[in-house]
Homo-oligomer: A and B are copies of this chain.
Amino acid sequence: MRELFEPASVAVIGASVEGNKVGNIILGNIIESGFQGPLYPINPRYQEVMGLKCYPRVSDVPGPVEMAVVVVPAKFVLQVMEECGQKGVKAAIVISAGFKEVGLEGAKLERQLGGIAHRYGMRVLGPNCLGLVNTHHRMNATFAREGPREGNIAISSQSGAICVVVLDWAANINIGFSKFISVGNKLDIDEGHLLEYLREDPHTKVIGMYIEGTDRGREFLRQAELTTKVKPVIALKAGRTSSGAKAASSHTGAMSGSDKVYDAAMRQAGVVRVGDIEDMFDLLQAFSTMPLPDGEGVAIITNAGGLGVMAADACSDYGLTLASFEPSTIERLKEKLPPAASLYNPIDVVGDADAERYDHAIRTVMDDPNVACVLALLAPTDLVDISSVAGTLATFAGSSPKPIVTSFVGGKEMAAPIDMLKAAGIPNYPSPERGIKVLAAMAEHRRSLVRKGSRAVEPTEADHEAVREVISSVRSQGRLQLSESEGKSILKAYGISTPREGTAKDLPAALELAASIGYPVVMKVESPDIAHKTDVGGVVLNIDDPQELERSYQVMLSKVREKMPKALITGVSIQSMVKGREVIVGMVRDDQFGPVITFGLGGIFVEIMKDVTQGIAPLDRDDVERMIRSIRAYPMLTGARGRRPGDITALAEIILKISQMSMEFPELEELEMNPVMVGDEGKGVTAVDALVTIKGEKQ
């Protein structure tokens, strides 16, 4: 990657003298950005381009070429790349379009391109991309109209158009970039590689990514987890919904994974996922210019009560706390604020507030230990000198130990003062809500930094041999679906308890079995001909004693015989009757992210209320606890409605075991325990049912 981002020498293959050609713009951008190393235009048609000697082929260049920018038409790309490989080029940016995004032919061409790159060990950015900028290496290898200023934001985008949108936005707001990467079709380099590189990049303070789809979701998750421990990652994942996803796949041919899984992955990795591009801009601006808050409390300062109310509303919406001030803070505020001012949060410095009043209020609350960040609001009242307040606020840029953002709300009168704030690097947002939303995201990132301790979980001692035997036995029978008892034997191999149970051929045997299992029990009819036992009266719950068992046995058999006279009845199964709250724990292996663990309360909660949560294995204790707490029905587990609290510790264990199992046995394709009965605190949890599907033998 070093050769891609900081090449010593660059060739532009397809450089052109024609002003509107990409091969002309890119060469011009590289020159204009002040690139220091040797730069070689390559084009058999010219002797010289932009005052530089032009070579027919890259192989004709006398010195070494570390990186090549390829802008020739798609049909020439393979040949050109072959030559690059022979020349010893280490990295290439393939700008050219006409690959995967145009259909099957293009996809084939792209695979061939990948083969060449692999053979020569070249890294490839693109194809079908806008290029790459590294401001600190003074290299703008894009064909964007306007190059970015130097700064500390790194951007990657799967859409070239979003790149230009971001550049144009940044030009307007005085924001600069460290790296700017258009990933295109991501043949080789994708977001995972970029995170790995940008994490270590000393010039990058915050990373923003526009993603439409990923091919290596799991690797992205892993790299994101490591990166967010060091710096914030903000992601806009488009194609969220079915209609959006359709547009995404016609756009770059990316397969969008299920959005819920992306959501779980990003949350688990500590990535700040934003819903739209404005949110992305808002956050980049704040993370780029401001320090992180060291807590949750916000101080709001306003010259208009109404704006303060809106900001306070937004605090509740976004989970930020209105700081309670120390008495000394109130005293100090009182010194310089007029009697009509409100000294409590939100601080109302009143409509005629001048710059000095704002300054005093801000400095005072900054000193309060309960204040972690500040939002300064301003309405263009008749009596306020907006520019002078903006000038005062600008003095906090760079020096403030706590983040401060502003919201000057209005239009015409605000334009010039807001430009002053922009120039100084104080983020200003057009509504109080957006200011609060940004501060809340900063506080959340800080929380995730603090939270991330060790991720090591003591693995359960499992009987791997037993699991392997079950899997190979099922496979040898040509099945992929395990029977309930086979499924349960896998659970048992991981120390997950299942109800005591057995089968009996007749009533005396059933009575004996029930006595050994212990009442209360459940009795089910056993018949290869009956799929839905409940429908034919073939299940009796909660049998308390031998008398009831005897009676139920007779009733059940007569009902079943009446409803299905031709069914072969081989006996009954007797199961210990397990009590507790029903939950579901499941695992599905996602193509992108690997094992996805699902958890929710059973029955209506999952089916009707869609109250489930997901996590990507391997999970640690912290992940699992957050999953359990995140469902809306969580109070059902903690003892709502007069019940005793459930055994949440044991529930967490069972989820961790499924996570571990899914990592240790890639053969397991799908697993669902429905229901798992969660007993009262200390009473453990029991998997009553198990549905397991395995993969076929490796081909």
Contacts and interface: CB of A to CB of B under 8 A. Distances in A.
Given A171-B412, A412-B172, A607-B641, A243 B164 contact: no
A410 interface: yes
A411 B305 contact: no
Interface string A456-499: 00000000000000000000000000000000000000000000
A326 interface: no
A431 B430 CA distance: 14
Nearest to A240: B313
Nearest to A252: B305
Contacts of A430: 278
B317 A241 contact: yes
A173 to B, nearest CB: 6
A210 B307 CA distance: 11
B304 A159 contact: yes
Q: How large is the interface on A (under 10, 10 to 19, 20 to 34, 35 or more residues)?
A: 35 or more
Interface string A610-649: 0100000000000000000000110110001100000000
Copies of this protein in the assembly total 2
Given A239-B309, A276-B433, A171 B608 contact: no
Contact of A633 (B162, B246, B604): B604
Interface stretch (A142-150, A361-369, A390-398, A556-564): A142-150
Contact of A304 (B165, B410, B603): B165
Contacts of A433: 275-278
A434 B281 CA distance: 14
Given A252-B305, A633-B604, A310 B146 contact: no
Interface string A342-384: 1010101001000000000000000000000000000111100
A514 interface: no
A168 B411 contact: yes
A541 interface: no
A684 B633 CA distance: 30
Nearest to A171: B412
Interface in A274-295: 275-278
A238 B164 contact: no
Given A161-B304, A304-B161, A431-B276, A171 B317 contact: no
A262 to B, nearest CB: 12
A246 B431 CA distance: 20
Contact of A144 (B159, B314, B382): B382
A331 interface: no
A242 interface: yes
A413 interface: yes
A50 B349 CA distance: 33
Nearest to A161: B304
A551 to B, nearest CB: 14
A641 B604 contact: yes
Nearest to A641: B607
A310 B412 contact: no
Contacts of A159: 304-306, 309
A102 B381 CA distance: 20
Given A608-B633, A608-B640, A277 B310 contact: yes
A242 B161 CA distance: 42
Interface string A516-552: 0000000000000000000000000000000000000
A294 B212 CA distance: 32
A414 interface: yes
A255 interface: no
B306 A162 contact: yes
Contacts of A604: 633, 636, 640-641
28 contacts: A25-B382, A145-B382, A146-B413, A160-B304, A161-B306, A161-B307, A161-B381, A164-B382, A165-B379, A165-B380, A168-B410, A171-B411, A171-B413, A210-B306, A212-B306, A239-B309, A243-B315, A243-B322, A247-B309, A248-B309, A251-B348, A275-B317, A276-B432, A277-B310, A277-B433, A608-B635, A609-B609, A609-B632
List the 5 closest pairs (A to B, CB-CB), nearest first: A172-B411, A161-B304, A159-B306, A168-B410, A241-B316
